[in-house]
Structure 1
């Protein structure tokens, strides 16, 4: 689903991508400073709701909530791809009225601001991109205004209600010379027919930065510079100073601002505020996608400048010194400062300014002179060491949170700032055709150089007169002939171009800057995702290695356990076998006298030697027992051995006789 408009359609990415596309909606900010290594902690699913408070004026009773966009790419792809925002919804203040209130849109309030966002097609590294809202031209911003101001549908008409309320336009001026007109439809202190207030309607016009509050008039602090209708005074830091003529209903006020070229960041200084960096979160606001951004806060140095008792008449933007301190208290009256004693150093850092910058106003084409010059630099103050340490603190795991942005996000600059009191109404004219065209060189007019301001767009203008400067010259003998020069070609339609630009040209230029920034973010996001994928792969490889080592350790542990069990089983089997052997020996020798055999479990037992075997053992030759032993030996039954025993061949016959006598007495042997 695509809608008509001037926003470029999203480029189609390749069908397949080699890198994963995790959405940063639940924790990763892109492009942020360096991507940290992936954590193994358990991720939270998503944040519950936007940290910004709900818009009371437009949220009440509609039942819609302000939540973070879903983190799933499949869920995001189900949303329509828009090039123009759906909002706002115009609600007329009365039947047939040309003034409307806007609903279904995020109006800046309570330190947060909103810009339209569109879903990127699948395959992009970033989930959302910057888109426009109708009408796509220079006008009052639907989001960047007080919700109490009423508007026309073309965004050029603004009407107040009660008290001072302000609005900014939808594109900032960051460098160059710019001009626009504002016509006062009702102001200058006039009352309407049915108005019963003591004060009438008033208008203040000027230029303001992002830090300037919307529920107050321009010039309330040092972040804005204004021009009052009632007295014609200029005002900043809430200090009115005489300036020009007053204006009211029917007058046309020309607003001119000149800014020097934008300072380029120092590539060697990572903390230079001129570096471009975004801090924004895509959210679902009442059914449509927007970027939620933490507004730039006011610095304590600027707050300290607001001294309501100052009475200086200086025309510069920086207030002159006075006898009171920045906090309004009188200094200590200790007499004059002694010589050689240095005054105490100021506690606040100096505020940088933009050299050669200026603001001027015109009333019905008549220049009122330079109102402010050397404006304060719109870049944020450099972070202190304490702020840097606080910014390095990690946020909750898996939750995307807002952080204060110390860098330029591309939206800084000076915006046309319109403040209305009570029922005042105005209409903007950003050009290029003006009711009272300014001179071609506004700076020359402001500096008092002679020039002519055309009252008609077709009328020719005169450049400032160039007065030659007299120099000391000497006569030249035989001067060389001058080279031939072609006469200049003069065309009747040629007109000198102005040295300023109409505000209407700033809006398309600003949107091109935003889309170029989107492209840079997309490329940075792809690089960050590639790093993330490489870190994830490295972590996965390390995890596999740890798992492999763990498995190897478990295998070695199991092997050692199995070996120990095998040894234990072997010892147990040997013991069982020994017991079994003992049991068999018991069974074998159970009915035979053991003759001193003792069985003990686990001990190798053998029968004791027989005493008979010990008594018949051979004695060493030459011993007493050997010579005098009367016992016969087995050798006596064999061949004669001589002097081995007392039994010899001499008494053999006698022995035989004895044996015969015994046999006669006992009788013949009984057969077995």
Structure 2
């Protein structure tokens, strides 16, 4: 990925009070000194202040009498603020930061805005998926054949940036004409962009394999709250033994589970603190690279087996209380309302980027935190290299560090061929900001939820291992609480009232807690209906549409209730000094090696 920084014009003192407009390479937010007298009803913070992420060029000139020394590009890059791997370039500060707060377009609850060149006619065309080139064919356990393809002509989520397809739409003039969209194949599937390189998929995005070491791919849907279910069939893996004592043979290996945005794609599921995985070897569960026995003795995962995964997360309202340090288990755990009137404040700082025949929204991705790195490597020094950095307190909902807080009533359960194997993980780590933090880049703002955080279904394959995903609603083995589904292994289904019985624990050390009486390997009734993850895709599309409309209305209100063409043309009342930077007739093109 390579970028170029265009030269900028110096403003004369007479234009010191004019709005500072940016071109794409500088990635600075616009100012606006003609904001409406009544703030936007979508903006909960009407007192707009200058933020630390505002560019120095967005501050009015201090006049010719005060001159400051300009830092060199090399010095600025040494501070780690230059985003050299994307189309985002480092702003060139011209003046010392003024101590007087200056008006800035939007606020901490509004997305940043950028000046763009007019869209090309091709930008209005429907988004296209990747180009498929046939790579190889493998036999499936049922005797059929699976064609795997190498995907190209698309961008990969890597180097600290996240990409989503977008399209130009004249119905969105205030948000520079672009809105989010989806290409074929429609529906829930393995994401072509959110996968490691050298992975091969079929054209439906359901089958995946590789001929390299462990690589991971995430689905195009994220779970943020509720109870969800999906299945994975092992199509190439450990071969079932034909006779007792025979040598174990394998066509490869597969791991599956859930992973957050911060999880590395060049590692298996369960490698770090951001993912939870199940191994095909002996059915072990893996978290932070620590495999633990999970399946009953003699049980493992072989070719043809179908592994069902169920995840439950608390409501987002309870989740926000946890990450904000306001969680009270005596009250919130009982009064958790899944249908809270308070919706999440989605703030999406993104910019259209051209990549070959595609247009993407580029967003700064979330990165690993020092605390979770130290949790994975609990040494006196810690992974961060600072002495005493490892936390002595285990992760819990009221941990003093936000990234080490866990979600009450959260778990991941595992089924094999419809039979309940047990609860693999409980008290999953929280992911809403400030538990998740963006990568340090120009324009990155902390504590912002871009709406795509969550736990993604994830699969990792190793040297020929292959798997097929099924997000429903037609499952190979229906969810356990659906009509006609098999019961738990050796157990009758749990009654809905079984969770009401409680036992007192921890009475010897004066710390009394109330916990449900749940036997090991039992499947207690969970709250809320279990839904197929295919339905989450429809919800996610609806959330994107609403967020696009909210951003458009927000920008429209910032412009004083007028529609202002952000692609070069302006209305008759707008500032005539605004225009496209010299030589910037096109939005920047992304360069990324496959």
TM-score by structure 1 length? 0.53
The answer on 1:178 being equivalent to 2:228 is yes
1:160-192 CA distance string (max 9 Å, x none): 22100000000101111111111000012799x
1:89 alignment partner in structure 2: 131
2:335 alignment partner in structure 1: none
1:211 alignment partner in structure 2: 262
CA drift at 1:29: 6.8
- Indicate conservation of the 8 Å contact 1:77/1:122, yes or no: no
CA drift at 1:439: 1.8
1:596 alignment partner in structure 2: none
CA drift at 1:122: 6.5
2:183 alignment partner in structure 1: 133
1:380-431 CA distance string (max 9 Å, x none): 33699xx9xx99xxx9xxxxx4415432110011000101011111111111
2:78 alignment partner in structure 1: none
1:100 alignment partner in structure 2: 149
CA drift at 1:524: 1.0
CA drift at 1:538: 12
Deviates more, 1:106-115 or 1:419-428: 106-115
Q: Distance in 2 between matches of 1:539 and 1:89?
A: 43
1:253 alignment partner in structure 2: 307
CA drift at 1:27: 2.9
Q: What's the secondary structure of 2:216's corresponding residue?
A: strand
Q: What's the secondary structure of 2:227's corresponding residue?
A: strand
The answer on 1:224 being equivalent to 2:275 is yes
- Indicate conservation of the 8 Å contact 2:28/2:114, yes or no: no
Q: Distance in 1 between matches of 2:415 and 2:436?
A: 39
Select the structure that is richer in strand. Answer: 2
- Indicate conservation of the 8 Å contact 1:151/1:158, yes or no: yes
Call closer, same or farther: CA 1:135–1:176 in 2, change over 3 Å: same
**RMSD of equivalent CA atoms:** 4.8
1:416-475 CA distance string (max 9 Å, x none): 010101111111111112111232179x978998428xxxxxxxxxx6588999xxxxxx
CA drift at 1:531: 8.8
Count residues in correspondence.
414
Q: How does 1:152-551 map to 2 (within 5 A)?
A: 152-188=202-238, 201-244=252-295, 245-263=299-317, 275-307=345-377, 326=382, 351-381=404-434, 401-440=442-481, 450-451=492-493, 499-530=529-560
Unaligned runs of 5+ in 1: 1-19, 43-49, 56-68, 192-197, 310-323, 333-345, 396-400, 453-462, 470-496, 541-672
- Indicate conservation of the 8 Å contact 1:180/1:430, yes or no: yes
Where relative contact order (Cα < 8 A, 6+ residues apart) is larger, the structure is 2
- Indicate conservation of the 8 Å contact 2:280/2:302, yes or no: yes
Q: What's the secondary structure of 2:404's corresponding residue?
A: coil
- Indicate conservation of the 8 Å contact 1:92/1:98, yes or no: yes
TM-score by structure 2 length? 0.60
Q: What's the secondary structure of 1:107's corresponding residue?
A: coil
Q: How does 1:62-73 map to 2 (within 5 A)?
A: 71=115
- Indicate conservation of the 8 Å contact 2:367/2:436, yes or no: no
Q: Distance in 1 between matches of 2:405 and 2:372?
A: 11
Q: Distance in 2 between matches of 1:517 and 1:359?
A: 29
Q: Distance in 2 between matches of 1:39 and 1:172?
A: 39
CA drift at 1:521: 0.7
Q: How does 1:638-653 map to 2 (within 5 A)?
A: none
Q: Distance in 2 between matches of 1:159 and 1:429?
A: 15
Q: Distance in 1 between matches of 2:171 and 2:114?
A: 14
- Indicate conservation of the 8 Å contact 2:346/2:451, yes or no: yes
- Indicate conservation of the 8 Å contact 1:172/1:413, yes or no: yes
Q: Distance in 2 between matches of 1:53 and 1:467?
A: 51
Call closer, same or farther: CA 1:29–1:261 in 2, change over 3 Å: farther
- Indicate conservation of the 8 Å contact 1:274/1:379, yes or no: no
- Indicate conservation of the 8 Å contact 1:35/1:528, yes or no: no
Q: What's the secondary structure of 1:129's corresponding residue?
A: strand
1:177-220 CA distance string (max 9 Å, x none): 111111000012799xxxxxx98511111001110010001111
2:164 alignment partner in structure 1: 115
Call closer, same or farther: CA 1:539–1:153 in 2, change over 3 Å: closer
1:76 alignment partner in structure 2: 119
1:511-533 CA distance string (max 9 Å, x none): 11011111111111112233999
Unaligned runs of 5+ in 2: 1-18, 32-41, 63-81, 88-112, 138-144, 242-248, 327-342, 389-398, 502-526, 565-570, 576-594
Q: Distance in 2 between matches of 1:355 and 1:448?
A: 28
Q: Distance in 2 between matches of 1:419 and 1:380?
A: 27
Q: Distance in 1 between matches of 2:403 and 2:453?
A: 20
Q: What's the secondary structure of 1:301's corresponding residue?
A: helix
CA drift at 1:280: 1.5
Select the structure that is richer in helix. Answer: 1
- Indicate conservation of the 8 Å contact 1:358/1:373, yes or no: yes
1:494-519 CA distance string (max 9 Å, x none): xxx99200111110111110111111
Q: What's the secondary structure of 1:506's corresponding residue?
A: helix
Q: Distance in 2 between matches of 1:253 and 1:105?
A: 30
Call closer, same or farther: CA 1:153–1:300 in 2, change over 3 Å: same
Q: Distance in 2 between matches of 1:219 and 1:383?
A: 18
Q: Distance in 1 between matches of 2:418 and 2:574?
A: 69
Q: Distance in 2 between matches of 1:522 and 1:502?
A: 32
CA drift at 1:35: 7.7
Q: Distance in 2 between matches of 1:185 and 1:170?
A: 21
- Indicate conservation of the 8 Å contact 2:353/2:359, yes or no: yes
